[in-house]
Structure 1
Amino acid sequence: MGRAGELKRLIALAEQLRGPALQHVQQLQSALARRGDPAEQLERQRRRLARKRAWASRWLAVWSIITAICTVLAVGWFTGVVEDPSDTTPVAAIIIGLISGTFAVRSGLRMRNLGREHRALGAGSNQIPARAPAALPPRGSLAREPMERLAQCEATLAELLVQIGRGGSVPVESVEHTRRTGADAALVLRRVAAQLHAVERARDHAPPLERGPLADAVRALRRQLDEGVDGYGSLVAAAGRVLAASSMGAPNQDLSDATEHLAGLALALRDLSPEGS
């Protein structure tokens, strides 16, 4: 009985530690997924270019002021307003003015190039580079097939949103909102798939008499996963209808409706996950 009691205490302790540990792991996965998100990468690149352009603007102002002062001194000496018997002041002013003028021109060119890159990123916000494919659950897992469908849906939605953005018939804010909603929903669905695979492993290693509840949990998670992927597919279908309607010059509200539906579905799935509880 002593060993049995000790074993029960160890199992209880493991169960207590499992929840926080799993939550921390999922939070880390979520942070890494957000960091690898193309939209986040693009936004960081924009901020980096904006900072560089701000520094180029400051240096342009500094070198321009120095050049202006040196020009005033040199012109004043040539016109007789500034007198210097040794002629060192005008010569130094000319030399410093040439140097500072060169740096001012370089700073101006750099600021212009950075501004052009920043505007290009803003104009090409609908052409976000594709994210590297996420790892799929192993073959034999019930999470594998839904995640394959999700990967295909993500690629199709990304292509459709690029085409919709190029058309200009749908506001950029709506396209970005749809993209962010799709990315958030995909992240939640992958979290559910990870839970499903973990419960599958627990079921396979559990004693035969304890596998029943775990098998029921696997089936419930698979239903949630199918529902979520079907919702993502509905968003893809809506984007296809919007693109077809925009090509014919007809407005279409399907994209907004499907986006809001998917956002609600993702929120419901998030509430069911350990991170949302």
Structure 2
Amino acid sequence: MQPRRDELVRWGEAAVQQLRGPVLDDLRRRFAGWRDPRARLLRRRRRSKRAAGAGAAGAGVFGVGSYASMAADPVWSGLGPLSDIAQMTSAFGLGGLAVASGVGAVGAGLRYRRLNRQPLPDPPPVSVSLPPRDSEAREPMQRLQEAEQTLHKALSQLSGTAAGSAPGDARGTADATAAELRTGAQRLQSVEAAIEHSPPADRAGLREDVRRLRSELDDGVAEYGTLVAAAGRAVAASGAPEQRDALQDAADRLAGLASGLREVFGAPEDGSGPSRGEGR
């Protein structure tokens, strides 16, 4: 009876763990998307547009009501001596509301126009499901994901400064490098999965392959970190031209790394390999 109970406990723990991962990942993605400057600007645009539309509709409704109050003398005649006062009060009250709604609509429309002129920040890196905790690929992929978020924040602050086109170039190179590193992580996991089903004589060689791939992933993530460091220095220097050159140099080195990783991990040259948005 005890072995069966232990087995049920293990099944329950495994089910909870499998459920916890996707749920928490989804919550993290939603929270990160809500805090993102791009998402905030889009929300402000939508609110301004709705406010402008509601204000215009309110101005129209109250304006029609004010006109109707002034024109509908027979309706007010039944009030006797108070008819003129009630009619004027209703007309001017509704007219005042129409004016207030119109002013609000104009203000919201101007705000919407101003927000529309603001360029949208680049979208943040989409959170990727990490490898299992017992995989050698887990730690480097987690560090890569954190480095991507940090780099995105730094490059967003550099956009439009003296850094020129360097932030855009660095972002494209970083995305390509991250895709190659994730290709390597997938290959590492495939090798790990093969160990369990391989003959004992072959397992030592496969474990050596795992160590080699892990080392290449560590080196690649470390090189990715040099670009993050260069971006951080450029932010500290307020996008000074000399930091722009340093950022461009780091991006060029990372482009060379991406090319080398493509050869190591065997990713296709035509771009058909994993991209930034796949699997996220």
Within the candidate set 215, 223, 228, 1:231 is matched to 223
Confirm whether residue 146 of structure 1 aligns to residue 140 of structure 2: yes
Describe the SS at the equivalent of 1:271.
coil
- 1:66–1:97 contact (8 Å) kept in structure 2: no
Cα 1:225/1:33, change in 2 over 3 Å: farther
Distance 1:115 1:270 in 2: 48
Shift of 1:205: 3.8
- Letter of the aligned partner of 1:169 in structure 2? A
Structure 2 residue identity aligned to 1:50: R
Contact (CA 8 Å) 2:162, 2:240: kept in 1 or not?
no
User: Where does residue 276 of structure 1 map in the other structure?
Assistant: 273
Map 1:1-277 to 2 at 5 A.
38=32, 41-68=36-63, 84=73, 87=76, 91=87, 93-101=91-99, 103-104=101-102, 111=108, 135=130, 138=133, 141-144=135-138, 146-147=140-141, 149-150=143-144, 153-154=147-148, 157=151, 160-161=154-155, 164=158, 168-171=161-164, 174-175=166-167, 178-179=170-171, 182=174, 185-186=177-178, 188-190=180-182, 192-211=184-203, 214-215=206-207, 217-219=209-211, 221-222=213-214, 224-243=216-235, 246=238, 250=242, 252-259=244-251, 261-262=253-254, 265=258, 268=262, 271=267, 276=273
- Kindly provide the amino acid, as one letter, of the partner of residue 273 in structure 2: G
Read off the aligned partner of 1:207 and give its amino acid letter.
Answer: P
- CA distance, structure 1, for counterparts of residue 163 and residue 148 of structure 2: 20
Distance in 2 (CA, whole Å) between partners of 1:181 and 1:55 is: 39
Q: Percent identity?
A: 31
Q: 1:61 to 1:272 in 2, by over 3 A?
A: same
Distance 2:202 2:209 in 1: 12
1:232 Cα deviation (Å)? Answer: 0.6
The match for 1:19 is: none
Q: Deviations over 1:16-68 (max 9, x none)?
A: xxxxxxxxxxxx9xxx7996695795434433332332222222223334455
Instruction: Show the counterpart of 2:12.
Output: none
CA shift, 1:259, in A, is 3.1
Shift of 1:253: 2.0
Task: State the TM-score, normalized to the length of structure 1.
Answer: 0.54
Range with bigger deviation, 231-240 or 175-184: 175-184
Letter in 2 for 1:256: Q
Would you say the 8 A contact 1:199–1:214 is kept in 2?
yes
CA RMSD of aligned residues (A): 5.4
Residue-by-residue CA offset, 1:58-81 (whole Å, 9 max, x unaligned): 22223334455566677xx6xxxx
Query: Gaps spanning 5+ residues in structure 1: where?
Result: 1-27
Look up the equivalent residue of 1:43 and give its one-letter code: R
Structure 1 residues 44 and 247: alpha-carbon distance in aligned structure 2, compared to 1, 3 A threshold = closer
CA distance in 1, matches of 2:198, 2:105: 68
- The Cα shift of 1:180 comes to 6.4
**Structure-2 change in CA distance of 1:180 and 1:45 (3 Å):** farther
Structure 2: gaps of 5 or more residues: 1-21, 78-82, 275-280
CA contact (8 A) 1:49 1:114 kept: no
Cα distance 1:207–1:260, how it changes in 2: closer, same or farther (>3 A)? same
Instruction: State the distance in 1 between where 2:154 and 2:41 align.
Output: 24
